[in-house]
Chain A
């Protein structure tokens, strides 16, 4: 396959100027107006916003072990259609990604599929059982070069183990991504604890179960002078703790999911388990506090926590349903709805919270670079002027458990370039054999 070249005509760079972008191979080779299209595929980007390829620090690709929900291939297809060019794959697979072998397998599957760069996240503890540290060093020095470690789905609740993990990853500048959920306070918990849970008779998931772990862990991170990342912040109280920690100079970063920026606990009223998620949807005031915190930088990034589940895990009573929602395909639209349309962020900020900063937290140097000549050709083109009902046709992964189906949302990803080749054009996914061939050509240089 010959080296690709694309000429993107008339795109708006983030919140700034309008320009053409010329790519050749995996590099942006020229920017400016009236560039020569010779030999390049032309993409008309009038009215489209160009962003550096989006990076998701929190994705569940489910492979190996849960291929009925998602695979590396289908998950990265969902990523591409959502404008992502890199995803960090969570460790709660089967087997758990707690050895060099598993993380290298996931890495290889991602390379072969070619829709996005897949960076495996390593488990903090063996088998996610919270007892003994996993082989963090072996994963870090493997071909997958793991830098982010998380037991996500479970909390590293043992304070001593958490302290050791924070200390241990300092040797390779790793980061512990904590799923903040005090286990005893959330036994059998089903939804946010408050007025709605009291009425619905669903076991409450108190905000303090999240906030107390975050408070403990920022203090631990300060004590051992290590780097901490907090997954999916969901409460106004958590925001306050992070704000305090940052003011104190603690090296902590935090993420929020699109669904926590848009949806609140009232969605549980009908016991529709599409809205069952961990951490749970919170009160409206929490939603607004999270938006404010993302706007003022207290929360650093948006990450999807894309959590595919087969229909039988959701077509049942609330208590029996699985936690989680798919989110890659809808993330940018939800961020536009909640942050851009409200005036809280502009498109440069969107590039920061969905690409630049997540790549930095994940030590993924090949991604998250502003669109300039010489930068890698990971580019997302979004049409911000459309507004559509989010339908099943927009879902590209294997699972349909999206809480946004039927909601009207703005924006649509029209094209995604991953390392210089298109994975999405005209809003449509490029076929997998073509993408795989491009990916192989890039690997061979």
Chain B
């Protein structure tokens, strides 16, 4: 795996192998000495054009546990923010000898442009690009589901037959996109629930079931996993929904809706949460909630990703 740009690129075998390596990485986290020497001498650059402290420190912890050197490059707010600057920045990082670039960018496709550009010969890891994808988030979500469902026997398994309901702002969500493709690859059944304004117009071409009504969706089938997406309050200014109260009433995982779920249904959220809007505190803090596990698992999955990208054989250029 030369780069990780999108979960559409992952075959079932590759995805399961990444999750299995993540299991090994997770085992290291339980040791007294949490560090592995695998990436000693490698330089990982966290290139963040958008603020995301959570994702950045997760990648930073992952790289450091593998003994890589980490350079954090926050491009936001500096003179470089768009246009030619991506090229200039990439060439600068290349000159500094970056072996992998973890990129977070507001523009969809920026990591793909970087990977195809020839400006830099580093492995590119997409840490969230615009409204496109966030592959490591989907991997950590799948990892979390697999661990909860299969426990110690997770290795080698997919998520066959697992029903996952994703609720919220699908159209703007890179987390939703990466999850839809990866969960499909791993054999899960995905249901998307949102008002039509927050679904892509061509969503009927996706390998998912669609529902506009959360109560209807939950009545029709009990999900093994319900994943609530963060709702951006500014969306209501663009008429995606009338106001937060109506959104919470119709599409939020309220305490009442949560209480009707069986104790085996997992409650997931990629964070940061708007408590009381898309998810109630009772649901977020319940034993079914995996919110904190997701954070811990994020480090393991990102270790596996960095390890896999940085130890892949480089294609010899002709």
> What residues of chain A have their CB less than 8 Å away from a CB belonging to chain B?
190, 193-195, 197-204, 206, 270-273, 312-313, 315-320
Contacts and interface: CB of A to CB of B under 8 A. Distances in A.
A317 B83 CA distance: 7
Nearest to B238: A187
B27 interface: no
A288 B8 CA distance: 29
B113 A317 contact: yes
Nearest to B114: A317
B173 to A, nearest CB: 9
Contacts of B87: 312, 315-316
Contacts of A202: 108-109, 130-132
Given A195-B202, A198-B202, A319-B130, 20 more contacts: A198-B200, A199-B8, A201-B174, A202-B108, A202-B109, A270-B112, A270-B116, A271-B108, A272-B116, A312-B83, A312-B84, A312-B87, A313-B83, A315-B87, A316-B83, A316-B87, A317-B113, A318-B109, A319-B109, A320-B83
Contacts of B132: 200-202
A201 B131 contact: yes
B203 interface: yes
B202 A317 contact: no
B152 interface: no
Nearest to B203: A198
B237 interface: no
Contact of B84 (A190, A199, A203, A315): A315
Given A315-B84, A316-B82, A316-B84, A201 B113 contact: no
A197 B200 CA distance: 9
A320 B107 contact: yes
Contacts of A270: 112, 116
29 contacts: A194-B201, A195-B202, A197-B202, A198-B205, A199-B177, A200-B109, A201-B130, A201-B174, A201-B177, A202-B108, A202-B109, A202-B130, A202-B131, A206-B201, A271-B109, A271-B112, A271-B116, A273-B113, A312-B87, A315-B84, A315-B117, A316-B83, A316-B84, A317-B105, A317-B113, A318-B113, A319-B82, A319-B106, A320-B83
A199 B112 CA distance: 14
Q: Specify which of B116, B202, B203 lies most central, judged by the most chain A CB atoms within 10 Å of its CB.
A: B202
Contacts, number: 87
A190 B109 CA distance: 12
Contacts of A200: 108-109, 132
Interface of B: 8, 82-87, 105-110, 112-113, 116-117, 129-133, 171, 174, 177, 200-203, 205-206
Q: Which 7 A-B pairs have the closest CB atoms?
A: A271-B109, A201-B132, A198-B200, A319-B107, A201-B131, A317-B107, A201-B108
A203 B85 CA distance: 22
A162 to B, nearest CB: 25
Nearest to A312: B84
Q: Specify which of B109, B110, B177, B206 lies most central, judged by the most chain A CB atoms within 10 Å of its CB.
A: B109
Contact of A316 (B113, B200, B201, B202): B113
Nearest to A187: B238
Given A201-B133, A202-B109, A271-B109, A317 B201 contact: no
Nearest to A321: B83
Nearest to B129: A201
Nearest to A206: B201
Contacts of B109: 200-202, 271, 317-319
A129 B17 CA distance: 56
B7 to A, nearest CB: 11
A190 B129 CA distance: 15
B190 to A, nearest CB: 14
Contacts of A312: 83-84, 87
Contacts of B86: 316-317, 320
A318 B108 CA distance: 7
A187 to B, nearest CB: 9
A198 B199 CA distance: 9
Contacts of A319: 82, 106-110, 130
A195 B8 CA distance: 15
A164 B131 CA distance: 41
A272 B113 CA distance: 7
Nearest to B105: A317
Contacts of B200: 197-198, 204
Contacts of B107: 317-320
A312 to B, nearest CB: 4
A312 B113 CA distance: 14
Contact of A194 (B84, B116, B117, B202): B202
Nearest to A311: B84
A397 B131 CA distance: 36
A169 to B, nearest CB: 36
B83 A198 contact: no
A194 B202 CA distance: 5
A316 B49 CA distance: 14
A194 B201 CA distance: 6
A198 B206 contact: yes
Given A201-B130, A316-B87, A195 B205 contact: yes
Contacts of A318: 107-110, 113
Contacts of A190: 108
Nearest to B133: A201
Contacts of A320: 82-83, 86, 107
Nearest to A318: B109
A67 to B, nearest CB: 19
Contacts of A313: 83
Nearest to B110: A317
A312 B86 CA distance: 10
A191 to B, nearest CB: 10
Contact of A204 (B84, B105, B117, B201): B201
A197 B82 CA distance: 21
A195 B205 CA distance: 7
Contacts of B112: 270-271
Nearest to A194: B202
Contact of B113 (A193, A203, A204, A271): A271
A201 B135 CA distance: 13
B115 to A, nearest CB: 10
Nearest to B132: A201
Contacts of A199: 8, 177
